[in-house]
Amino acid sequence: MIRISPIRLIGPENEQIGVVETSEALRMGEEQGLDLVEISPDARPPVCKLMDYGKFKYEQSKDLKSKSKNKAQEIKEVRLGRSIKIDPHDVKIRIDQSRRFLMEGHKVQVILVFRGREMMHRDLGIQRLREVVEALADISKVETPPRAMGRRTMILLAPDKPKIEAIKRKLAKEAAKAAGPAPEQADPKKNAPVDEEPPIEDEVHDDEQDTSDDDAATRSESAAE
């Protein structure tokens, strides 16, 4: 809440309204459906503005995100060497380094330095830079073509986001394929121990036992006779 009165008021279109009482500024804001926001509290009188505060905060948040994104995308310098006579193996190392930076989303400025009479053979340096561009064409695009600055010739490459995303998806797919299918989860019902039924014992019925006893008695009587 703004406690000081009067204030210097600025309108929603940045027009200077002038010095007014705080109560009057609040009334004007209510009529227009706007907020009274103090933007310079240390001034005398304080400077306030009529605005849509919600929209103001949203735009402020968008600006911060944009600045953060631009800061994250740095320009990395890669030097091909201090002579156009750089070894092919060293060129490959610089290309791999540039590739890593581009895959991370950074721009890459490739620099070639000429020594002494090499200045007479700038075309050779341009050709060397073109070799780098061709080697990185699958993930980058030329943002600034080769240009000379004193004894240096440079080129600026920017990451080609659609191509990089396609490569990342392909690598992820290949990694998943190399890892093989995921192991199947054990089925608790399938592996549960099976209760074995107890063996069925032969039952001897009483009538069968009685028959056996009668047969034995008959045999005994026959033997006695």
pLDDT in tens, 156-173: 999 999 999 999 998 888
Q: What is the dihedral of CA 184, 186, 187, 189, to 10 degrees?
A: 160
DSSP for residue 183? P
Tell me whether strands 16-20 and 7-10 are parallel, antiparallel or unpaired. antiparallel
> 56: which 2 tokens?
């103001």
The pLDDT assigned to 137 comes to 95
The pLDDT assigned to 183 comes to 60
Residue 206 near residue 214, CB atoms below 8 Å: no
Q: How confident is the model at residue 149 (pLDDT cuts 50, 70, 90)?
A: confident
The pLDDT assigned to 193 comes to 58
Domains annotated for the chain, with CATH where assigned, are 7-55 (3.10.20.80), 72-163 (3.30.110.10)
Nearest to 102 by CA among 138, 150, 148: 138
Residue 9 near residue 18, CB atoms below 8 Å: yes
H helices of the chain, in order, are: 22-32, 53-72, 88-103, 122-135, 161-179, 188-191, 206-224
**Which amino acid type is present at position 185?**
Q
Q: 32-41, pLDDT tens digit by residue?
A: 999 999 888 8
The pLDDT assigned to 117 comes to 76
